[in-house]
Chain A
């Protein structure tokens, strides 16, 4: 399962250079085109689209009072997979979560129930806040977004995803401290009960992920790889569970995968030995190719974890979107008869997602191990 030879093949490298140059050229062209076009035009088109959107939304809302509200699957699905300041429990009941804001005038803490699901603005100590599309903005007295004030408000709320992360953290600590206790109690004996369920997975991470990819230095990276693997896996599984303690889309959140991939980037490069850096900064090519090769290698350093970030985010989000789309079919057709079909497909997808949950945790961890392996490899490849 080594893909390094693909990444290192000359053909790929040169096509990357070509692509980079093309992107550069096209960016140049487009920026020149923008300069040529009057700024006002771009601004007006954008604001007009926003206004028209708002207008449509408004009309829909007024219509909704009288007859059946029209079902919009896209917004419903996006709402479900996005982060939120509430944790939906059932029906119209949701758990309000604490809002923590850092502004230029000081910090504020209050409950998200103050927003009444975005219907009301909340008068804080420093600004008036309003929840728009589940994002907090500072608003002026007229209820309009105050852009300059909003840019000074940093949202550090315990959102649904943050709460889900902490839940996963607590679960993992409870699970693994109990397993650890079992090891202490049954020292030198065969594993038993829950311990014997976990041990093969730990051995799998060690023998199938760390050892073959990193080599004899694997021991140093085992805690990171194990934590990553189990953290991603448990969050994937909790994300599949539709009721309260689950249902958050943590690993399908690009900021979460960004954090994980950034840790991979840091660990890989902080552990890079001289061969790794020589490969990047002084590759074995004629010197006149350096202006192309060095940027390419540096892009390679960044693109590897970037691919990790996108892969996990896209896989988990896609799974959630498919399940939600299948459920939405019932509401689109407005027929209960479609429900068995939907449920059957959802069941199938959920089982598939169970596999994907494991697979994505495995792939993320394995590629992290692979990148670390190339960084700590003792001999030069080429």
Chain B
């Protein structure tokens, strides 16, 4: 055991010291000039990539929401259009119906009026005819009377006959 370790410090302490110094120097130099900038740059790049991915995701989401919003808007517009069309149709139908009914009523009124007119005209004509008939009858009767005044019985029979006829009318 003792022989193995004899002179170990004399022969190897120098190497240990040199190795330690070299390694520590390497560590310090690489830490300041290599690892910090490299790891920093890698970290920075990773973060920027992450950010880019995140913003892409958000843009996609936003687009999605925009698209859905658009869709909703379109749907709404379509529904509104449908509603307007429906209302217009209803209005049109109503107007047509109204016009129809008004025309009908007007027509009926006019017909009624015409009928009334016709009736009154007819009544007037009848009355006039009656008057003329009566006048004509009187003239006939006068003529008859003038011709046949001689025969009294004949006169009387004729008058009663005439009167009977008139009554029938």
Contact = CB atoms under 8 A, between A and B. Distances in A.
B41 A172 contact: no
B34 A155 contact: no
A162 B23 CA distance: 11
B11 A187 contact: no
Interface stretch (A117-125, A177-185, A294-302, A339-347): A177-185
B37 interface: yes
Contacts of A184: 37, 41
B13 A253 contact: no
B19 A256 contact: yes
A161 B17 CA distance: 12
A169 B25 contact: yes
Contacts of B34: 173, 176-177, 179-180
Given A154-B14, A173-B30, A259 B20 contact: yes
Given A176-B38, A183-B38, A187-B41, A162 B15 contact: yes
Contacts of A321: none
Contacts of A231: 23, 26
A323 interface: no
In order of increasing CB-CB distance, the 6 nearest A-B pairs are: A156-B14, A176-B34, A183-B41, A223-B31, A223-B35, A259-B19
Interface of B: 3, 7, 9-20, 22-23, 25-27, 29-31, 33-39, 41-42, 44-45, 48
Contact of A162 (B3, B10, B18): B18
A153 interface: yes
Contacts of A172: 26, 30
B9 to A, nearest CB: 7
Given A154-B9, A173-B26, A46 B42 contact: no
Contacts of A377: none
A199 B42 contact: yes
Contact of B29 (A83, A151, A173): A173
B29 A156 contact: no
Interface string A142-171: 000000001101111111011001100100
A290 to B, nearest CB: 31
A202 interface: yes
B125 to A, nearest CB: 114
Chief secondary structure at chain A's binding surface: helix
Given A223-B31, A259-B23, 16 more contacts: A102-B14, A135-B11, A156-B17, A161-B15, A162-B15, A169-B26, A172-B30, A173-B29, A179-B38, A180-B34, A202-B39, A203-B42, A219-B39, A226-B35, A231-B23, A259-B20
Contacts of B30: 172-173, 176, 223, 226-227
A223 B10 contact: no
A260 interface: yes
Contacts of A166: 22
A151 to B, nearest CB: 6
Nearest to A195: B38
Nearest to B31: A223
Contacts of A188: 44-45, 48
A102 B18 CA distance: 14
Task: Give the one of B27, B30, B34, B48 with max A CB within 10 A.
Answer: B34
Contacts of A150: 7, 10
Task: Give the one of B12, B16, B37, B41 with max A CB within 10 A.
Answer: B41
Nearest to A260: B23
A177 B48 CA distance: 24
A204 interface: no
Nearest to B49: A188
A255 interface: yes
A183 B39 CA distance: 10
Contacts of A310: none
A165 B27 contact: no
Contacts of B11: 135-136, 155
Task: Give the one of A153, A202, A223 with max B CB within 10 A.
Answer: A223
A260 B12 CA distance: 15
Given A172-B26, A173-B30, A176-B34, A155 B14 contact: yes
Nearest to A198: B38
Interface string A100-141: 101000000000000000000000000000000001100000
B37 A183 contact: yes
B26 A180 contact: no
Nearest to B35: A223
Nearest to A199: B42
Contacts of A161: 15, 19
